[in-house]
């Protein structure tokens, strides 16, 4: 997939995410959760985009691991804010962040073992 096609795909996904979260905010009267959900779902999209990214990247293009890392960071921030808005204890947010960091460490370790093989 070329860089422009992936950029267009990501823009389309962002527009869909914004539309769906606004509809959810209106339907369930949770307007205070719209921004954190947009951040979290966009992070999830970046994780998916990292999975469909080709190996042949240009010199200045982000690698799949970089996209995956940013997606994990955005998902952790978005879901952490959502948990905070819902009034859940900070322990749940910390647990989500630790879970995502663990997943990121496993993916990074698998990536380095694939390079050696």
| Span 90-107, pLDDT tens digits | 888 888 888 888 988 898
Q: Which domain holds residue 32?
A: 3-116
- State the total domains in the chain: 1
Residue 21 has which token pair?
């979260």
pLDDT in tens, 33-76: 999 999 999 999 999 999 888 676 677 778 888 899 999 999 98
Distance separating alpha carbons of residues 69 and 59, to the nearest angstrom: 19
Cβ atoms of residues 39 and 73 within 8 Å: no
Residue 41: closest CA among 65, 23, 16, 62: 16
pTM value is: 0.84
Provide the sign of the torsion angle of the four alpha carbons 43, 48, 49, 53, taken in this order.
Answer: positive
Q: Residue 1's pLDDT is what? A: 64
């Amino acid at each position: 997939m070329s860089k422009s096609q992936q950029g267009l795909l990501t823009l389309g996904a962002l527009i869909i995410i914004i539309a769906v979260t606004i509809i959810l905010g209106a339907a369930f009267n949770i307007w205070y959760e719209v921004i954190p959900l947009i951040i979290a779902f966009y992070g999830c999209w970046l994780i998916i985009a990292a999975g469909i990214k080709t190996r042949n990247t240009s010199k200045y293009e982000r690698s799949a691991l970089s996209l995956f890392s940013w997606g994990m960071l955005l998902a952790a921030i978005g879901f952490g804010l959502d948990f905070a808005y819902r009034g859940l204890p900070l322990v749940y947010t910390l647990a989500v962040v630790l879970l995502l960091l663990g997943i990121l460490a496993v993916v990074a370790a698998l990536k380095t073992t694939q390079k050696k093989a």
